[in-house]
Every structure is written in C-alpha cells, then in structure tokens.
Amino acid sequence: MPFPTLDRAAKKIVSAVQQYALLSGRSLANLFRKPFYGADIIVQADRIGIGSLPIVILTGFFTGGVLALNSASTLANFGAAAITGELVSLSMIKELGPVLTSLMVSGRNASGMASELGSMMVTEQIDAMRALGTDPLKKLVMPRIVSTIFMMFFLTIISDAVGTLGGAFVSVVLLGQDGSQYFHTAYQSLVFADILQGLVKPIFFGFIIATIGCFYGMTTRGGTQGVGRSTTQAVVVSSVLIIVVDFIISKFMISVFGR
C-alpha cells in the first residue's frame, strides 16, 4: 500500500505549493491596485519591527560576543587574534545577522500571522470580510508582506551593528584587545559584495516569513486545533526555508562575486 499513499502525499504537496504561489502572487499584485491599505501597513510594521526590536538586539549582541570569544581563542593559536574584528563583522553581516534575525522574527511573527489569520478563518471572519466586499489578500496579507520585508531589512542592519558591538565588548573588556584595532579590521575587511549579500538576504527572508505565515493562516481548517497546527507548521516551514534559501543565495553570490 505505500505507493498510493505516496502518490496522494505528492499531489497534496504540489497543490499546496501551487496555492502558496497563487496567494503570494495575488497579494503582491494587490500592491498596485486600489484601495491602498497604508494604515494597515503601518500597524503591521509597528508590530513586526518595533515589537521584534528587543529580541533582535539581545540575540545580535550575544551572538557577536560569542563569535569574538570563540574566534579569538582559535585565532590566537595562529597568532592572528588581531583580526577578531574582521571575523565577527564578516560573519555577522553575511550570515548570522540576516539568518538569526529572520529566525527570531519567524518565531515571533510567522506564528503570529498564522494564528491570527487562522482564527479569523475558522470563525468565518475571512469569509465575512469577502462577503462585505473586501479582499482579504489586499487587506490582511499584502500589508503583512510589505511591512515584514521592509522591517526585516532594518532589523538586520541593527542586528549587524549590535553584533559587531557585542564582539567589540567581548574583545576589549573580556579579552583585553585594542578597541581601535578591532573596529579598524572590522571595517577594512568589508567589501561591496559582503554588504550586498547581507542586505539581499533579509529581503528574501522577510518575504518567506510573511507569505508562509499568511499561507498557513489562510488555509487553516478544523477549529482551534487547526489553528494550533497551522501556527506550528508556519514556524517550522519558514525556518527551514530560510536556512535553505540562505544557502542558495550564498552559493549564488559566491559564484558571482567570488566571495
């Protein structure tokens, strides 16, 4: 009996991917169609951006710190502890800033979107909205996508900066390194390709967080239990996708820019 089951599972996945693409595409197309829900975008941006700020700052700071701690001891073996700043800033800006920030925002907001839209779905509020002549893709989904992408971009920059500062704190205060040397190497080593990579990633990750969160929300079935299921799945799927897409972007960037 395994084949029919496999067959059905494959069909289900294909149709889910199709539905997901349709939802994302139609929501984005709505960006250019009236009415424009500016106020809803601001409300969402506030919830996603300002609401996530504390956890992004905390994780950024401690990640930078632990990077400095680890790399300084390894680099010391090669007599290269002087370039701790370079290592911290490169890792933060290219990888850890974007990835950790988006994993945090995913845990907080992909789940939030899935549960909020999911409960609206199971209580027929989404149907009611459509019956009253409002497109939920425009009113609910589009503002979430736009504001998540926008906010992810700035949250990542903040995380990068705070992470570099965290590294500096550890290097200078705990390891007794020279502060100006730390910042000098941190700054000198960066080239355009690194910055580009670090700023392109959050745009993709923001898109993943919002579309996956909304997709699971808008396809919720089966009452309160269904809402719980959607919430969990949204976090799991968006987190895995973020890591996979991170790999793909890195690979692509390296093949284009050579680093």
- Options 36, 62, 130, 175; binder of another protein; rule CB under 8 A: 130
> Considering the complex, what minimum distance in angstroms separates the CB of residue 230 from another protein?
17
Stretch that binds another protein, among 87-95, 122-130, 186-194, 234-242 (CB under 8 A): 122-130
The answer to the question of residue 79 lying near another protein (CB under 8 A) is: no
End-to-end CA distance of the chain: 49
Which residue has 């199709």 as its token pair? 18
If binding is defined by CB under 8 A, does position 134 make contact with another protein? yes
How many chain residues touch another protein (CB under 8 A)?
Answer: 13
Does residue 127 belong to the site contacting another protein (CB under 8 A)? yes
Distance of CA 3 to the CA centre of its chain: 36
Q: How far is the CB of 43 from another protein (least distance, A)?
A: 11
Please report whether residue 40 would count as binding another protein according to CB under 8 A.
no
Which residues, 6 or more positions from 42, have their beta carbon under 8 angstroms from its beta carbon?
147
Residue 39 sits in the site that holds another protein (CB under 8 A): no
Q: 85-101 in b/e burial notation, b at 16+ Cβ within 10 A?
A: bbbbbbbbbbebbbbbb
Q: Which is nearer to another protein, 112 or 167 (CB)?
A: 112
Q: Which of 129, 175, 195, 200 touches another protein by CB under 8 A? A: 129
Phi, psi values for residue 79, rounded to 5°: 65, 25
Q: Which is nearer to another protein, 51 or 62 (CB)?
A: 51
Only one of the segments 54-62, 132-140, 224-232, 247-255 lies at the binding site for another protein (rule: CB under 8 A); that segment is 132-140
Between residues 31 and 55, which has the closer beta carbon with respect to another protein?
Answer: 31
> Is 48 or 168 the residue whose CB approaches another protein more closely?
48
Residues within the interface to another protein (CB under 8 A): 35, 123-125, 127-135
